[in-house]
Chains A and B, each alone.
Chain A
Amino acid sequence: MSTLDQDLKTAARWKPLALLARTPAAVTLAVGFMALMLCVMCFAQVIQPHAFDHVDLLNRMTPPQPLDGASWAHPLGTDTLGRDLLSRLLVAAQTSMLLSLLGTVLGAAMGIALGFLAAHKGGFRDEIIMALVDFQAAMPWFIVALAVLAFMGNSMVIFILIMGLYGWETYARITRGLVLSAREQGYAQAVRGLGATPAWIYTRHILPNIAGPLLVQLTINFPSTILFETSLSFLGLGIRPPMTSLGQMLGEGRDYLISAWWLAVIPGFTIFLTTLSMSILGDWLRARLDPSLET
């Protein structure tokens, strides 16, 4: 059997183990790291060694292992108020991941829904939605977010809404194009001929068939959403104490770069690894799912 046939077979029947064996090491590492982050996201409260906001002023700025003066009670050291850095890192990663995931899902849902609507209705509704897309793409969203958070105050709901509105326009544009071309495919027309309603065709045939490119866009969008969240929190406009996020930790640690560099470097490195893993994952998925890139 030819390799193409085999590829089609694996595509049709998802075989995780066979897939893993042929996966590049970088991708395996990225998947592993993202799995770790997901575990942290779900269980940070359970696995944190200390309460992340427990202040211990006698143990301030302990260095992490294996530096001199480190203790195994605080493997990553403590911060300026003597709070355990490992616990803080876990909870911060949880907050950042949750917010970014929520923001990405919100943005994707909104963009995909509007993309479908634009493609289905056509006419002036299509033009309005596409004008909104251009409008959103042209807006410096970071500045808008800063202004909104500064004026409206910092509530979690507004913060999540701003995250959700970040990047929806790419989903809308991609979805609209994919739906327009998928609708003209023989199978979509054939199901229409069977008497299916547009909603039936969209949800059961077109959405599954265009899910690949959308999934890729999701993984490409996720790192920038994390960076968006951390940037806002770094500036003190996102997550605020006593809550913590990776960006907020980074912002706090910035003042002690000379005396206690690990306060900023450890959350910074975590942000870097998370976005890098997700980007590697996205690139690999794109190459896997795009037949025109197949070698």
Chain B
Amino acid sequence: MTALLRATGLRKSYATGRAGLFRPSARFNAVDGVTLHIKPGETLGVVGESGCGKSTLSRLVLGLAQADAGEILFDGAPLPRADTDDWRRMRIRMQLVHQNAAGALDPRLPVRAQVEEALRIHKRAPERAARALSDVGLPPAMAARYPHEMSGGQLQRVVIARALALDPDLLVLDEPVSALDVSIQAQIVNLIRDLQAARGLAYLFVSHDVAVVRHVADRIAVMYLGRVVEEGPTAAFRTGALHPYTRALLDAVPVPDPGCRGGAVPRIGDPPNPAAPPPGCRFHPRCPFAVHRCRAEPPVLREFAARHHAACHRIEEIA
């Protein structure tokens, strides 16, 4: 099946600090050569620590930020430049939901008006807003409320309803549940899954939380300092993660069993400064298996099992 979204060699750098008279400002690559694809109706989960470039990646994929290099094909056609009419029309097909639902809503308008607005912008019948709100499980009485009168979980439902009112093919969810209580998280995650089952839309689900991503994603890509270090079907991450970083992430997931308390979780310390990534394999300063080659030569993604890729020199030895 052809991919709905195909991104190849995406690169995006940001300037840090001011440029001097004779000194260009320092730049760091937030996203440094990422390749990924999403099929229609599929969920690709992207996991990584803070600062690994997940949010930049989601902005690139939507065309909200312009990539420095690389190519994005959506449904076979390159993504139009941001803030052109073509790009605005494209918003019908791809939408973003991010962490801060309260900030994403205008404080001066009732939520129904804000869902209707999405439809009005594209000259569609605003009556569909009511259905979109009921689809995300909000009772009709809540539609007249203002954002400050609603809870975080309800606001996130409103934002999802607004994104879904346009009936997009791709929804980018950037940390959609990170700001919510665990019990509410589960509700929203289940809502996201149910909506996919009902509508067959594709998700790019970005989160720092491996447990959540494992729960919703069909495939997972693990990012470390702007690069994908491992990518494969979710089932492969249950049985055997390949990359030492992925293993550390998975080991850090708490196990709800008092019997397992105090198990030795490897402590790998804080991530290095993304503005000055280490040479060679970017993970080597924190990797328990690093050898001389890891410090000198950056590893490339290699296929180890069916559609299961990882970028590490020593996978054969440490498996």
Q: Tell me whether A and B are bound partners.
A: yes
Using A8-B148, A186-B100 as known contacts, say yes or no to A196 and B121 having CB atoms under 8 A apart: yes
19 contacts between A and B (CB under 8 A): A12-B107, A12-B108, A186-B100, A186-B103, A187-B104, A189-B104, A190-B159, A191-B117, A193-B62, A193-B91, A193-B95, A194-B91, A194-B117, A194-B118, A194-B166, A195-B91, A195-B122, A196-B88, A208-B108
* Contact yes or no, A185 B91, CB < 8 A: no
Q: Could you list 13 further interchain pairs (A-B, Cβ under 8 angstroms) beyond the known A8-B148, A186-B102, A193-B95?
A: A12-B108, A12-B146, A12-B148, A186-B100, A193-B64, A194-B95, A194-B117, A194-B121, A195-B91, A197-B88, A198-B83, A209-B106, A209-B107
Q: Which of B142-162 contact A (CB under 8 A)?
A: 146, 148, 159, 162
Bound-complex Cα distance A187 to B114 (A): 10
| Residues of chain B within 8 A of A43, CB atoms compared | none
Bin the interface of chain B by size. 20 to 34
Bound-complex Cα distance A191 to B163 (A): 10
Bound-complex Cα distance A48 to B106 (A): 48
Q: Tell whether B96 is near chain A: CB-to-CB under 8 Å.
A: yes
Interface residues of chain A: helix, strand, loop or mixed (majority): helix
The interface bits of chain B over 46-68 (1 if a CB of A lies within 8 angstroms of the residue's CB, else 0) are 00000000000000001010000
| Residues of chain B within 8 A of A197, CB atoms compared | 88
Please list the residues of chain A having a beta carbon within 8 angstroms of any beta carbon in chain B: 5, 8, 12, 185-187, 189-198, 200, 204-205, 208-209
Using A186-B100, A187-B103, A187-B105 as known contacts, say yes or no to A195 and B64 having CB atoms under 8 A apart: no
| Residues of chain B within 8 A of A196, CB atoms compared | 88, 117, 121
| Residues of chain B within 8 A of A8, CB atoms compared | 148
* Contact yes or no, B117 A186, CB < 8 A: no
Please list the residues of chain B having a beta carbon within 8 angstroms of any beta carbon in chain A: 62, 64, 83, 87-92, 95-96, 100, 102-108, 117-118, 121-122, 146, 148, 159, 162, 166
Which residue on B lies nearest to A187, using beta carbons? Answer: B106
| Residues of chain B within 8 A of A209, CB atoms compared | 106-108
| Residues of chain B within 8 A of A192, CB atoms compared | 83
Shortest B30–chain A CB gap in Å is 18
| Residues of chain B within 8 A of A185, CB atoms compared | 103
Which residue on B lies nearest to A196, using beta carbons? Answer: B121
Bound-complex Cα distance A198 to B82 (A): 12
Bound-complex Cα distance A61 to B145 (A): 63
Bound-complex Cα distance A5 to B145 (A): 14
* Contact yes or no, B106 A205, CB < 8 A: yes
Which of A195, A204, A205, A208 lies in contact with B88, CB distance below 8 A? A195
Bound-complex Cα distance A190 to B97 (A): 9
Using A200-B121, A208-B108 as known contacts, say yes or no to A193 and B96 having CB atoms under 8 A apart: yes
Bound-complex Cα distance A5 to B150 (A): 12
Bound-complex Cα distance A12 to B106 (A): 12
| Residues of chain A within 8 A of B91, CB atoms compared | 193-195
Which residue on A lies nearest to B147, using beta carbons? Answer: A187
Which residue on B lies nearest to A8, using beta carbons? Answer: B148
List the 5 closest pairs (A to B, CB-CB), nearest first: A186-B103, A195-B91, A190-B104, A195-B88, A187-B106
| Residues of chain B within 8 A of A198, CB atoms compared | 83
